[in-house]
């Protein structure tokens, strides 16, 4: 009787999982890892299950002419991102990055808020992790971590590879030892993904490790190119912005399965593409940082050929308080961008340059900008005290016949009533 229940259960189990029923006895569990193959691509063992691969590039191979100014640009980019995040924080939002990568994290590691201090500069590392899962969570492991950093005239690249799960502790120890050389972590979407998974791995193995300040290029890249090229994966950027094409690349979603296949077969060839993919990602990240800096710097001829969203980028830079913002906003406004005009005029307004602001609003008014009309009405009411003109701008809006929501309509009516009252009051002597 008992036996029957067990076999029913097995039968259901096999069906549930889509297998032909087999006896448990014949099943091969815990297959030994196939031995006898030497790793490829120059990987060297650093433990029973972990390997490392080291490559050097001359900086100019990656298009970097001056290592010093490149290092400087990485830190400047970090500052910019940091100031934008902090500005957002003041707006009421606070996220993980805000209290991690902010003041304390930075100052402690030697980047001051203002000009970059020459001494005690944190060393930046570019990183990218390949994981066994497509989402985060405790069941995703990092099996390949690519790191790159500048060293003299060279860029050094290291890739840490984990051969099988039981080696994770020794793997993480070696990774940690290397990561402790650095204080600024540059990635593409690593702030919310790679770094989380890596930190989770340490916790799962009862170790403590937290990465330091994060410079995640995804955010600024989205400002620059999302409206131009749409999807902004690192591959899209490479192809459409850096103008490079990967020939034998493996799509990201296939990476976990390649690794599982490697674990089952022990055949290094199955992960060869993954390793090259990772190397490529890290190098592209370096080139990307270099390019974005050139755009911010704005001096070079070659940058002018690159299309990007000047309004959105200008806005981003404005939030970081970067003077370059002004230039890009102006260019975007002149090209007819309403959003840029709005931001630019608000900048002028803040600086008290009313003439310039009014000029922009008037240009925008021709394109039926409700924002501009209200700003003009406000300007003539509060600053010029020319109520008649103020009224004329509010009236202008009503002639456009635009579908405004209830609240806006209410506000306009209120404003008009007030202005008319003021006008009468002003006209009445005494």
Partner 1 sequence: MLDEVLEKLKADSTFQNNVTHWEVIPPRKGRYREIPPDIDERIVSALSEKGIERLYTHQYESYIRVRNGENVVIVTPTASGKTLAYNLPVIQSLLEDSSSKAMYIFPTKALSQDQQAELNETILSGNLPLKVFTYDGDTPTSIRISVREEGRIVITNPDMLHTGILPNHTKWIKFFKELKYIVIDEIHTYRGVFGSHMTNLIRRLKRIASFYGSKPQFICCSATIGNPLELSERLLEEDVVLIDDNGAPSGERHFIFYNPPLIDRVQGIRRGVVQESRRIAVSLLEGGIKTIVFARSRLRTELIASYIRESLDKFYKRGHNIEVASYRGGYLPSERRRIESGLRNGRIRGVVSTNALELGIDIGGLDASVLAGFPGSIASAWQQAGRAGRKSSLSLSILVASASPIDQYIIMHPEYFFAKSPESGWVDPDNVYILVDHLKCAAFELPFDKDEPFGGPAEEVLSYLEEGGTVRFTGGKWYWSDRSYPAEGVSLRTSTPENIIIVDTTEGRNEVIGEMDLSSSKMLLYDGAVYIHQGDQYIVDRLDLENKRCYVSESRENYYTDSIVKTDIKVLEVDEKTPACGIDAAIGDILVRSQATKYKKLKYHTHENIGYGEINLPADEMHTRSVVLLFSEDTLPGSYFRELEEPVQALLMEKLGNLFKNIAPVFLLCDPRDLGIAERVKDPFFASPSLYIYDMYPGGTGLSEGFVARLAEIVSGSLELVSGCPCRSGCPSCIGPSEAGFGESGQATGKNPKAITIQFLEKWVGTFRNEKESGF
Binding site for partner 1 (CB under 8 A): 8-19, 24, 27, 29-31, 33, 93-96, 132-139, 164-166, 199-200, 203-204, 253, 256-257, 260, 263-264, 403, 405-406
Which residue from 156, 167, 138 is spatially nearest to 49, judged by alpha carbons? 167
Contact status, residue 319 vs residue 87, Cβ threshold 8 Å = yes
Q: Closer to partner 1 at the Cβ: 137 or 323? A: 137
Shortest CB 411 distance to partner 1, Å: 16
Between 152 and 403, CB nearer to partner 1: 403
DSSP-assigned states of every residue in 328-357: HHHHHHHTT-HHHHHHHHHHHHHHT-HHHH
Which is nearer to partner 1, 90 or 118 (by Cβ)?
90
Q: Between residues 29 and 401, which has the closer beta carbon with respect to partner 1?
A: 29
Q: Are strands 50-58 and 154-162 parallel, antiparallel or unpaired?
A: antiparallel
Backbone dihedral angles phi then psi of residue 283, each to the nearest 5 degrees: -65, -40
Backbone dihedral angles phi then psi of residue 271, each to the nearest 5 degrees: -105, 0
What is the spatial distance between Cα 81 and Cα 293, in angstroms, rounded to a whole number?
Answer: 12
CB of 303 to partner 1, least distance (A): 36
C-alpha torsion sign, points 187, 189, 192, 198: negative
Residues with Cβ within 8 Å of residue 146, at least 6 apart in sequence: 127, 128, 129, 130, 157, 158, 159, 278, 279, 281, 282
- Residue among 95 and 108 whose Cβ is closer to partner 1: 95
Q: How far is the CB of 383 from partner 1 (least distance, A)?
A: 34
- Is residue 214 packed enough to be buried (19+ CB in 10 Å), middle (13-18) or exposed (0-12)? buried
Q: How far is the CB of 284 from partner 1 (least distance, A)?
A: 23
For residue 150, the cross-strand partners are 155
Cβ 215 to partner 1, closest distance in Å?
Answer: 21
Residue 94 Cβ vs partner 1, minimum distance, rounded to whole Å: 6
Specify whether the CB–CB gap between 310 and 302 falls below 8 A: no
Tell me the three state secondary structure of residue 224: helix
Q: What token pair was written down for 38? A: 């030497």
Closer of 35 and 302 to partner 1 (Cβ):
35
- Dihedral sign, Cα of residue 309, residue 314, residue 317, residue 323: positive
CB of 298 to partner 1, least distance (A): 35
Give me the least distance between CB of 330 and partner 1, in Å please: 35
Taking the C-alpha atoms of residue 161 and residue 54, their distance in angstroms, rounded to an integer, is: 12
Q: Are strands 142-151 and 184-187 parallel, antiparallel or unpaired?
A: unpaired
- Backbone φ and ψ of 278, nearest 5°: -65, -40
Element (H, E) at 16: helix 2-17
Q: Is 124 helix (H, G, I), strand (E, B) or coil?
A: strand
Among 122, 100, 88, 65, smallest CA distance to 294 is for 65
């Amino acid at each position: 009787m008992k036996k029957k229940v067990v076999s029913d259960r097995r039968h259901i189990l096999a069906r549930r999982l889509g297998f032909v029923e087999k006896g448990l006895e014949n099943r091969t569990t815990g297959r030994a890892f196939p031995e006898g193959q030497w790793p490829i691509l120059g990987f060297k063992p650093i433990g029973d299950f972990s390997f490392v691969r080291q490559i050097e590039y001359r900086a100019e191979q990656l298009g970097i002419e001056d290592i010093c100014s490149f290092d400087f640009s990485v830190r400047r980019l970090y500052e910019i991102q940091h100031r934008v995040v902090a500005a957002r924080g003041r707006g009421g939002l606070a996220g993980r990055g805000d209290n991690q990568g902010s003041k304390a994290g930075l100052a402690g590691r030697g980047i001051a808020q203002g000009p970059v201090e020459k001494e005690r500069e944190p060393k930046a590392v570019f990183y990218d992790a390949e994981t066994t899962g497509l989402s985060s969570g405790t069941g995703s492991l990092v099996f390949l971590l690519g790191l790159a950093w500048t060293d003299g005239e060279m860029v050094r690249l290291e890739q840490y590879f984990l051969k099988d799960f039981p080696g994770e502790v020794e793997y993480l120890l070696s990774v940690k030892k290397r990561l402790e050389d650095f204080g600024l972590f540059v990635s593409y979407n690593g702030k919310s993904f790679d770094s989380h998974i890596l930190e989770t791995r340490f916790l799962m193995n009862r170790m403590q490790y937290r990465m330091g300040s994060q410079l995640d290029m995804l955010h600024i890249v989205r400002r620059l190119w999302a409206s131009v090229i749409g999807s902004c994966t690192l591959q899209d950027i490479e192809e459409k912005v850096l103008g490079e094409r990967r020939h034998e690349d493996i799509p990201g979603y296939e990476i976990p399965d390649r690794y599982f296949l490697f674990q089952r077969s022990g055949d290094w060839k199955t992960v060869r593409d993954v390793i090259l993919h990772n190397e490529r990602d890290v190098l592209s990240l370096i080139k990307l940082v270099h390019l974005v800096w050139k755009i911010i710097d704005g001096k070079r001829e070659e940058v002018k050929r690159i299309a990007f969203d000047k309004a959105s980028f200008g806005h981003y830079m404005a939030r970081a308080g970067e003077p370059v913002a002004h230039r890009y906003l102006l260019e975007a406004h002149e090209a007819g961008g309403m959003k840029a005009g709005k931001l630019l005029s608000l900048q002028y307004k803040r600086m008290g340059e009313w003439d310039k602001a009014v000029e922009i609003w008037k240009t925008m008014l021709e394109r039926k900008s409700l924002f501009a009309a209200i700003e003009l009405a406000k300007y003539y009411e509060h600053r010029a005290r020319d109520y008649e003109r103020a009224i004329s701008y509010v009236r202008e809006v009503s002639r456009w016949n635009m579908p405004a929501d209830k609240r806006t309509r209410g506000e306009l009516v209120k404003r008009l009533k007030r202005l008319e009252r003021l006008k009468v009051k002003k006209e009445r002597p005494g």
